[in-house]
Amino acid sequence: MIDLYYWPTPNGHKIPIMLEECGLPYEVHPINMLKGDQFDPEYLKLNPNNKIPTIVDRDGPGGKPYTVFESGAILIYLAEKTGRFLPTDPAKRFDVIQWTIFQVANVGPMFGQCGHFFQYAPEKIPYAMERYWNETKRLYRVMDKRLADTEYLAGEYSIADMATYPWVKIYDFHHIELDEYPNVKRWRTAVGERPAVIKGCAVLEDAMILGNPDKEAFENLFNKQKTV
């Protein structure tokens, strides 16, 4: 059994998608980031970075409970545990790892900043908006070029697609015209139609907020500095 500490954000969605794809049983523990649950001392014992997601594998290495935080690390851990969605062939394996890290290091941070300055920032800062929107569009071009040659980001469907899809799912939140990236559009549809992806993205879906958080939620999401 996997204990999933989760809130329905793009980074959060990655993990129930993987759990559903692998058929692993899991129990959801909501971490309401709008109310500041991520700063609870008990949660910080699991994730010192006060973010989601986090898992506790009750049957971890050596049969003992094992905690993993950071979404990319969790995906790799679950792929290693199940032997799925991360090939053993060295070249194919590193294709998947490269595109997974591409998401973790580029897509998530840049798309996130783009969405923040367009949707959440209390004042419009044209330089920041243009900076992150241009970088978001550049990353879409990178993906579109890659997907012109492959069905999925790393060739076969993998954790790289699971990592990236939740961010592309909300492309309109980043003011992207998806028709400009036809290969990404085709890929987004193919991944989004997978039953496990649909089910994984539906976990706590009604709690997701995009747009205008109230004052308490805004402080907990963006301004609160407490980490211990």
4: which strand partners?
28, 55
- Region 14-32: mean pLDDT is 97
Whether pLDDT at 113 is above 90: yes
Higher pLDDT, 121 or 143: 143
Question: What whole-number percentage of the chain has pLDDT above 70?
Answer: 93
Cα-flanking dihedrals φ and ψ of residue 113, to 5°? -70, -40
- Region 208-225: mean pLDDT is 67
**HSE (side-chain half, CA atoms, 13 Å) at 31:** 26
- Mind listing the pLDDT tens digit for each residue in 122-135? 899 999 999 999 99
Q: How confident is the model at residue 107 (pLDDT cuts 50, 70, 90)?
A: very high
Q: How confident is the model at residue 228 (pLDDT cuts 50, 70, 90)?
A: very low
What domains, with CATH codes, occur in the chain?
A: 2-84+200-223 (3.40.30.10), 90-194 (1.20.1050.10)
Q: How confident is the model at residue 227 (pLDDT cuts 50, 70, 90)?
A: very low
Distance CA 119, CA 210 (A): 8
Of 49, 5, 10, 19, which is closest to residue 168 (Cα–Cα)? 10
Instruction: Provide the pLDDT for residue 210.
Output: 57
Instruction: Provide the pLDDT for residue 213.
Output: 67
Task: Report CA torsion sign: 152, 153, 154, 155.
Answer: positive
Whether pLDDT at 193 is above 80: yes
Pairing of strands 54-57, 26-30: unpaired
Whether pLDDT at 180 is above 50: yes
CB within 8 Å of 188: residues ≥ 6 apart: 165, 168, 169, 171, 178
Cα separation of the two ends of the chain: 28
Q: What is the pTM of this model?
A: 0.92
CB within 8 Å of 83: residues ≥ 6 apart: none
Cα-flanking dihedrals φ and ψ of residue 47, to 5°? -135, 95
Instruction: Provide the pLDDT for residue 225.
Output: 58
Higher pLDDT, 219 or 177: 177
Instruction: Provide the pLDDT for residue 207.
Output: 72
Instruction: Provide the pLDDT for residue 215.
Output: 72
Peptide bond into 30 cis (omega under 30): no
